[in-house]
Chain A
């Protein structure tokens, strides 16, 4: 089945530094990937839609200069949290529509737990 690989799974960084999260589709091409953020016991909030070869589309209220998204190839999208602060600590998850037709839903990466200290 389709697999989306996300790295790292956990990261602790100091306030003010930047963190890059990678999301790869392993056995299919994903022209579009989605980035979500999830706070404890809350739902997945769509942050942005990552489009291969073009600019990402950000949701209202998400700072594009803080959450840099790059989708340089059909299998890789990256999210960089710049100048991270403790309030950016969260669970970040990427997803892509699974190839094979509309009946297969979305496949999620395993998520990245970011802790900013």
Chain B
């Protein structure tokens, strides 16, 4: 029941873009995106509730294709502070399950 994330890891240079994908085999109520720094708890980035919904703040945005049961997280003009592990979370029957995570490393 866990969503599937890809890629597993990404290495970028500062200023480059990245896309992280999340898909589910089950119909989704919502998709959440979180970022976790090493040794810390995950921090909420955004939630998408409706099919086709797109959200964004700063240079991080996400889309949700309800029909395909997929979501994508877009990081543009990446900064060093974007480094961390990104998790998508999907709500099925009111509990949250997370993908395996995508480890993003931004280098100067």
Residues of A within 8 A of B (CB): 6, 32, 34, 36, 41-46, 49, 93, 95, 98, 102-111
Q: A43-B2, A43-B87, A44-B87 are in contact. Are A104 and B44 (CB under 8 A)?
A: yes
Residue-by-residue, is B23-50 near A (CB-CB < 8 Å gives 1, otherwise 0)?
0000000101010000011111011010
Bound together, the chains give a CA A108 to CA B44 distance in angstroms of 8
| Count of chain B residues near A, Cβ 8 A | 23
- In the complex, 21 of the A-B residue pairs with CB atoms within 8 angstroms, ordered by the A residue number, are A6-B41, A32-B94, A34-B95, A34-B96, A42-B100, A43-B100, A44-B87, A46-B96, A49-B95, A102-B47, A104-B44, A104-B47, A105-B34, A105-B47, A106-B89, A106-B96, A108-B42, A108-B43, A108-B44, A109-B41, A111-B41
Q: A34-B96, A43-B101, A49-B95 are in contact. Are A103 and B47 (CB under 8 A)?
A: yes
Residues of B within 8 A of A (CB): 2, 30, 32, 34, 40-44, 46-47, 49, 87, 89, 94-101, 103
Q: A44-B87, A102-B30, A102-B47 are in contact. Are A111 and B40 (CB under 8 A)?
A: yes
